[in-house]
Amino acid sequence: MVSPMSAPASLIGEPDLLLLDEVAHPRPWQVLGARAGQSAGQAGVFFSLWAPGARRVSVVGDFCAWDARRWPMRRLTGAGVWERFVPGLEAGARYKFSVLGADRRRRLKADPFGRAMDHTPGTSSRVAAPSRHRWRDGSWMERRGGIDWQRAPMNIYEVHLGSWRRRRDGSWLTYPELGRRLAEHCRRLGFTHVELMPIAEHPYDGSWGYQVTGFHAPTSRFGTPDQLRAMVDHLHRSGIGVVLDWVPAHFPQDDYALSRFDGTPLYEDPDPRRAAHPDWGTFVFDYASPWVRSFLTGNALYWLEEFHVDGLRVDAVASMLYLDYSRKAGEWKPNRLGGNQNLEAIDFIRQLNVTTHRAMPGIVTAAEESTAFPAVSGSPAEGGLGFDFKWDMGWMHDTLEYFARDPSYRRYHHRRLTFRGMYLGGERWILPLSHDEVVHEKQSLLGKMPGSEKQRFANLRSVLVNQAGQPGKKLLFMGTELAPRGEWDHDLQLPWRSAADP
C-alpha cells in the first residue's frame, strides 16, 4: 500500500525531466497536471507541478479533507518539478495544490495544467478522465494540410456558445448538441468556419471567456473535454472548420489562479510597471520568461492537437506589442532600444506562429490587432509576426461610420469607403463584424442604421454587400443573419423568432 510519506516511482521520464529542467519542453501539458497511473500495483493519480520558487507543496482535495499535511509532494529536480501519487483517486476528484511560496505565504492554487475545473462559483481543478473519444475526421484533417487558406474561401461565423441557443428553460446546451445545430446552421448559410469565443474555463460569465483561469480546461458549462472533441469532430465531418479565440495577453488576478503562483511572479511580468493591465485589472504575462513561453506555446499546441481545432484567433495583440498600451507618460519604461515596443512579446508571437504552423500544417492564426504595426501577417523570416491574417479594424470602423450617416450627408464622407485602398496590400485581411460592435451601448448593427424601418434594413444589407465584395476573408458575429433590434446579451439566447420576421 502506498503511504503519504512513501516515494513511488515517477511517471515523468528522464527525457521529459531534462526538458523541464531546461525550460524547453514543447508540450508540457503531456507531463504536468493530473494523470492516471499505477504505483505498487495500486491505481491512482500522479500529480505534477512546476513551482520552482516554492518551499513546500502538497496536493489537497476532498480525498484528504483539504489537509496539506496528508499528501506532501516531493521535488524531483532542482529546477522546480514537484510530484505526488495518490492511490484510489478517480476521474472527477476535486483538487488543488497547497503551495508554501518563496514569500512564506501559503496559497491554494488550481492546477495550471488541469484539464477540468469546477464551474463557478467553484474554483477547484478536477481529475479529468483519459480521453476515450475516437476521432472520425481523418478525411478533413488530411485535406486541411493541403489547403492554402490564403486563397481558399473563408466565411467565419463567430459564436458565443452560451448565448447562441439555449433550452426552453434557459439552461445551456451541451457541446454535442451545439455542434449538431451549428453544423446544420453554418452549412445552410454558407459559412466555412465557426470561431468560438473563448471556451477555456473562466469564472465570470460577463467576461465572455476572456479572463481565463483554466488554460487547459474546456469550460464545464457545456460538458466534458470528450464532449468538446465530439463537437469538433461533428463539425469537421460536416465540412465546417473550427477556430478558437485564444487569450495569451493577460490573466485574472484571482488568488487561486496563476498570480504569484509560487510566491514569485512566475507567470506575470516582474516589473510592476508592466505587470498589471490598466484597462482590465488583469496581469500581463512575462514574455521574457522561458517558462511563460513554454506554457503559452504549449497551450496553443494543446488545443490544436488534443481537440483538432483548425486555427487560433489571438485576442488583444496590440496590448502585447506596446509597452505604453493604455499607459500614460511615466507609467511605462522604454525597451532597451529606447522605444515603446515590447520586444519580448514580439519574439514570443513569432515563436508561437512558427511553432504552431510547423507542428500543424494547414492551421491558421489571426491577429486582433488595431494599430499600424507593420507586417503582422508577414513572414517571421522577413521580420513579420507570422500570422496568416490580421483583422481589418479600420475597414470595420470606417464602413459602420459611413453607413450610420444619413444618406444625404454621405457624399461628404466617401473617403470612408475608399481609404482602405491606401493600405490594402500591406497585410492579409479578415473583415470582421464581431461581437465588439454590438455591445456596451453601441447598438445592434440594425440599430446603427439611419432612416425608417425599411431603410434601416436596406442599409444593413448594403453593409453586408460591401463586406462581401471587399478583398479579404469574412467574419460575422452570430445573430447578424437575424438583424436583431437589440444589442447582444450574453445571458440570453439569440432572438430566433425574428428569423421569421419578413
Q: Is 174 helix (H, G, I), strand (E, B) or coil?
A: coil
CA pair distance 218, 225, nearest whole angstrom: 6
Pair type for strands 155-159 and 389-391: unpaired
Pair type for strands 81-87 and 106-109: unpaired
Per-residue pLDDT of the chain (502 residues; tens, 9 = 90+): 455 555 566 888 889 999 998 899 999 999 999 999 988 889 999 999 999 999 999 999 999 999 999 999 999 977 799 999 999 999 999 999 999 999 999 999 999 999 999 988 999 999 999 999 999 999 999 999 999 999 999 999 999 999 999 999 999 999 999 999 999 999 999 999 999 999 999 999 999 999 999 999 999 999 999 999 999 999 999 999 999 999 999 999 999 999 999 999 999 999 988 999 999 999 999 999 999 999 999 999 999 999 999 999 999 999 999 999 999 999 999 999 999 999 999 999 999 999 999 999 999 999 999 999 999 999 999 999 999 999 999 999 999 999 999 999 999 999 999 999 999 999 999 999 999 999 999 999 999 999 999 999 999 999 999 999 999 999 999 999 999 999 999 999 999 987 656 5
Q: How big is the chain by its Cα radius of gyration, in Å? A: 24
Angle at 294 between CA 292 and CA 297, to 5 degrees: 100
CA pair distance 122, 478, nearest whole angstrom: 29
Query: Which residues are part of the catalytic machinery?
Result: 315, 368
Where helices occur in 329-432 by DSSP H, the ranges are 343-359, 393-404, 415-418
Q: DSSP label at 422?
A: G
CA pair distance 275, 268, nearest whole angstrom: 6
Q: DSSP label at 486?
A: S
Q: Which amino acid is at 187?
A: R
Q: Is 202 helix (H, G, I), strand (E, B) or coil?
A: coil
Residue 28, all three cell numbers: 508540457
User: What pTM was computed for the model?
Assistant: 0.96
CATH topology of domain 14-126: Immunoglobulin-like (2.60.40)
Q: DSSP label at 341?
A: B
Q: Which of 31, 60, 44 is nearest to 2 (CA)?
A: 44
Q: Is 422 exposed, middle or buried (0-12, 13-18, 19+ CB in 10 A)?
A: exposed
How many Cβ atoms sit within 10 Å of the Cβ of residue 151?
7
